[in-house]
Amino acid sequence: MNATAPLKIYQPEATSAIEMRDFNAWFAEAHILRDIRLSFRENRITCLVGPSGSGKSTLIRSINRINDDVGNYNCSGEIRLSNQNILASGNDVAKLRTRVGMVFQKPCVFPTTIAGNVLFGIRHLQKLSRPEKQTIVEENLKAAALWKEVKHRLQDKASSLSLGQQQRLCIARTLAVKPEIILFDEPTASLDPLSSRAIEDLMLSLKEKYTIVFVSHNIQQARRVADDLAFLCAGKLIEYGSSQQLFSNPTQEKTRKYLNEEFCDC
C-alpha cells in the first residue's frame, strides 16, 4: 500500500440502487465535488466519511436534489436511479423525494401531534379513513422502534418527546411515504450515546427493506454500521469499498490515516 497506488474501482456484487457518474457540484465559483463515481448497493448501508467541509452533505443532498433549492448551486454528470438520470431536465423532483427520504442532523418535528407527524408526508396523497390512518401511524412507529414508548400518547405534541424519540419520529415520518432509499446526514450528532445506539440499531433493521446512505463523523459508528464505506476528502472520492476492506486493507494511505488517526492533509 502506498499513497500513489491506483484507485481500486469497487465492483459491487449486489444490485446498485443509485449510481453517480462523473458527478461534479459547485456553489457559485467553488468546485465542491469533483468527478464522483460511486454506487450505492441495494439493501446495504453505505457510510460517507471525511473531514468537515469535504462535501459529504453536498453529496448526499444531491441525491434527493435538495441542493437545487440553494440559489448558487450547480452540478454536472449523472445520478442514476432505476437506470434513469434524476438530474435530467423534466424529472419530477417531488416524486423523486417520495422515493428518496431524508433524515437530518437535528430532529425536525412539525408543530403538531405525534400521530400528525407520522401522517404529515402523506396528507395530500390520498383520502384516508380514520382506521387507515391509525394503521399507518402504528405500522410506521413500530418500524421506527418508537411505538411502545408513545402508543398511549399519540395525540401529544411531538415536541414533548425526548430528542432521541423525536429523531425516531422523523424516521417514522420518512418511512410513511414509502421511500426506496433513505439518506441520513449525521442523524445521531445531536443525541446522547444511548439514543445514538438506538438509531444505529434502527438503521441496521431498516436495511432489510431500504437502501441507506449515511453520513457520519464518527469512525467507530461507521465501523459498527456500514456495509460499504466511501471516503471523501476535499471534494474527491479517495476510496470506496466494503467497510471491512477499507478498515483492514485500504488501497490508499490517505484512507488508512483518516480511518486510524482521523487525520487528513488534503
What residues line the site for ligand ATP (CB under 6 A)? 27, 30, 32, 50, 52-58, 70, 72, 217
The DSSP bridge pattern shows strands 211-215 and 181-185 to be parallel
Q: At 52, give phi and psi (nearest 5°).
A: -60, 135
Q: From the list ligand ATP, Mg ion, none, which binds 55 (C-beta under 5 to 8 Å, kind-based)?
A: ligand ATP
Nearer to ligand ATP, 43 or 218 (CB): 218
Q: From the list ligand ATP, Mg ion, none, which binds 58 (C-beta under 5 to 8 Å, kind-based)?
A: ligand ATP
Nearer to Mg ion, 163 or 189 (CB): 189
- For 193-230, b/e burial (b = at least 16 CB within 10 A) is eebbebbbebbeebbeebbbbbbbbbbebbbbbbbbbb
Nearer to ligand ATP, 65 or 175 (CB): 65
Smallest separation (angstroms) from ligand ATP to the CB of 8: 23
Smallest separation (angstroms) from ligand ATP to the CB of 104: 11
Smallest separation (angstroms) from Mg ion to the CB of 50: 9
Candidates 46, 54, 57, 64; binder of Mg ion (CB under 5 A) is 57
Helix (H, G, I), strand (E, B) or coil at 7: coil
Nearer to ligand ATP, 174 or 216 (CB): 216
Q: From the list Mg ion, ligand ATP, none, which binds 54 (C-beta under 5 to 8 Å, kind-based)?
A: ligand ATP
- DSSP letter string, 39-63: EEETT-EEEEE--TTSSHHHHHHHH
Q: From the list ligand ATP, Mg ion, none, which binds 52 (C-beta under 5 to 8 Å, kind-based)?
A: ligand ATP
Q: Give the C-alpha distances (Å, rounded to integers) separating 3 from 26, 78, 91, 237, 260.
A: 27, 29, 40, 14, 15
Nearest-CA neighbor of 187 among 218, 158, 210, 161? 218
The DSSP bridge pattern shows strands 30-41 and 16-27 to be antiparallel
User: Quick one: which H or E segment has residue 194?
Assistant: helix 193-206
Nearer to Mg ion, 57 or 243 (CB): 57
| Chain contacts with Mg ion (rule: CB under 5 A) | 57
